[in-house]
Homo-oligomer: A and B are copies of this chain.
Amino acid sequence: MARNSLGREIPDTFAGKKLVPYTDPWSLQPHAERSTRAIRRLTHNGSKLVGGLREAVIASGLKDGMTISTHHSLRNGDALLNDLVREIDALGIRDIKIASSSIHVVHAELIPFIRKGTISGLECGVNGPIGELISKGELDCPIVVRSHGGRARALICGEVPVDVAFLAAPCCDEYGNFNGYYGPSACGSLGYAQVDAQHAHKVVAVTDNLVPFPAVPIGIPQTVVDFVAQVPSLGDPKKIVSSTTRITTDPIGLQIAKYAAMVIRASGYVKDGFSFQTGTGGISLAVAEHVRDMMRKDKVKGSFGCGGITGYFVDMLEEGLFEALFDVQCFDLKAVESIGRNRKHQEMTAGTYANPFNCGSVVDRLDCAILSATEIDVDFNVNVNTESMGYLLHNTGGHCDVAAGAKLSIVVAPSIRGRLPIVRDAVTTITTPGETVGVVVTERGIAVNDRLPELKAELIRMRAPVKDIRQLRDEVYAITGVPRPIEFDDKVVGLIEYRDGSIIDVVRQVRR
């Protein structure tokens, strides 16, 4: 057991793996070569079509103890991972680790297969009930939560060797070329799948839309695809694209957005060459609306918008406010339609997006980013993984990647949620280190990290409601009371891995 630099107790090992405690966002250096795979020669004019999913599992050579992956671009509409695990189970294969790019609520169907040992580990974060059960000690399945960039790093460095990637391929030909642009399960960008396609030892393209050769434009090429499997459906198209991408109408949210826009204005970054990322939350989109107005008014020609992309950013691209969009994942149908048509709407891999161990990822080029939070502490550390009961309910996404990369990361959150204080002495779980967070914006005011004294001065000059973060906490505690600490057992059930592979926090079993 050791304490990392943020004071969190980190065990020496977890699920048999030696752990490196987190130190800081910058100094850890890679000592690895890019992961490799055995080279295979396809028989001349050989076929890759193997039939359905079960045949694909057999053809792939999947065996007990191996690691599989899928991508999450179909999000809560994804049917593939559930179908796949059912087939694996039916074939009697056990002790499989899942290293998908993310797991969603729909994958609660995996719970019985975890209980019976078909699945024995999660090398990826989860959204939803699986994490809750693991937190409660009701499901025994070690879990390692990684950010999008951290996952790319782990695969690229060979830290997580994926034996077989089963990649949903919305528009695919019989030789395995595919893209995400067209078909009933179109999801747009295949940014997450790209990493697996290059680094998994075997790659299966799974499609519900086999098109004549060649499936152009090609996102993932035939040269890395070993097998092509056909399924009736990859998922529920209605749920593939989230529809919760509307601007908030909540007055508190609108207030927060207004303050966040003041911060962006004060930063001085909104000028030619400006680059920007927001998420899909209603507050984030309200901030984006302010930014759009600023850019229009000042006739700013921005550089790029980044991240999971919405129709909002597509409009800004088409209006000429940005030169390009970098898209790791499409969040709505307008984005899906745009990426298939507009070459300035650039698909990027999760590695290009956010891997800290390469010759520079796109997050490193961001000026301003809007990030959400479940909890924020007085050192600006942010938690997005665990919720008020201490349960692991959310994946990290790109949170810590973007915070580290952007020149100015702005965390937006209401100060109180469901009577719980959001700004507080300590966060339950540290997802993102405070050192990488510039500003916290709540409806009660704006707290600026001490490392940005000029921004603070400018905000004060603008008569923005700047407050010390401890003052924010005190105001909140005055209403909510001091939160009662959650009681945890010693048992570590999950790791929160920082993007560089060091362990920034752990998730302990909640005491019952």
**Among residues 357 to 403 in chain A, which have CB atoms less than 8 Å away from a CB atom of chain B?**
357-362, 364-365
A216 touches B39 (CB 8 A): no
Q: How far is the CA of A323 from the CA of B211 in the complex (A)?
A: 12
A359 touches B40 (CB 8 A): yes
Interface residue? A486 (CB, 8 A): no
Interface segment among A43-51, A69-77, A443-451: the answer is: A43-51
Interface residue? A259 (CB, 8 A): no
Chain B residues whose CB sits within 8 angstroms of the CB of A44 once the complex forms: 25-26, 364, 404-405
**Among residues 200 to 229 in chain A, which have CB atoms less than 8 Å away from a CB atom of chain B?**
203, 212-214, 216-218, 221-226
Q: How far is the CA of A493 from the CA of B351 in the complex (A)?
A: 44
B45 touches A29 (CB 8 A): no
Interface residue? A356 (CB, 8 A): yes
Question: What's the least CB distance linking A367 to chain B, in Å?
Answer: 11
Q: How far is the CA of A458 from the CA of B40 in the complex (A)?
A: 37
Q: How far is the CA of A405 from the CA of B359 in the complex (A)?
A: 36
Known: A40-B30, A44-B364, A45-B364. A352 touches B223 (CB 8 A): yes
A30 nearest in chain B by CB position: B39
Chain B residues whose CB sits within 8 angstroms of the CB of A33 once the complex forms: 36-39
Most chain B CB neighbours (cut-off 10 Å) among A48, A323, A360, A404: A360
Chain B residues whose CB sits within 8 angstroms of the CB of A324 once the complex forms: 214, 216
B40 touches A37 (CB 8 A): no
Query: What is the size category of the interface that chain A forms with chain B?
Result: 35 or more
Q: How far is the CA of A357 from the CA of B44 in the complex (A)?
A: 10
A353 nearest in chain B by CB position: B223
Known: A212-B323, A323-B214. A223 touches B41 (CB 8 A): no
Known: A39-B34, A42-B359, A356-B41. A303 touches B223 (CB 8 A): no
Known: A324-B214, A365-B213. A41 touches B37 (CB 8 A): no
Chain B residues whose CB sits within 8 angstroms of the CB of A1 once the complex forms: none
Contact partner of A216 (CB less than 8 A), chosen from B35, B217, B346, B349, is: B346
Residues of chain A at the chain B interface (Cβ within 8 Å): 25-26, 29-30, 32-46, 48, 156-157, 175-176, 203, 212-214, 216-218, 221-226, 273, 303-304, 323-324, 326, 343-344, 346, 348-349, 351-352, 355-362, 364-365, 404-405, 407
A34 nearest in chain B by CB position: B36
Known: A359-B48, A361-B223. A343 touches B42 (CB 8 A): no
B359 touches A226 (CB 8 A): yes
Contact partner of A358 (CB less than 8 A), chosen from B25, B29, B40, B303, is: B40
A360 touches B304 (CB 8 A): no
Question: What's the least CB distance linking A291 to chain B, in Å?
Answer: 19
B30 touches A360 (CB 8 A): no
B360 touches A222 (CB 8 A): yes
Known: A33-B36, A35-B36, A44-B364. A214 touches B303 (CB 8 A): yes
B213 touches A303 (CB 8 A): yes
A34 touches B32 (CB 8 A): no
A-B contact sample (7 more), CB < 8 A, given A217-B346, A218-B346 = A30-B39, A33-B38, A40-B359, A217-B344, A223-B355, A223-B360, A223-B361
Known: A30-B41, A217-B343. A175 touches B356 (CB 8 A): no
A355 nearest in chain B by CB position: B223
A343 touches B343 (CB 8 A): yes
B212 touches A303 (CB 8 A): yes
Question: What's the least CB distance linking A306 to chain B, in Å?
Answer: 10
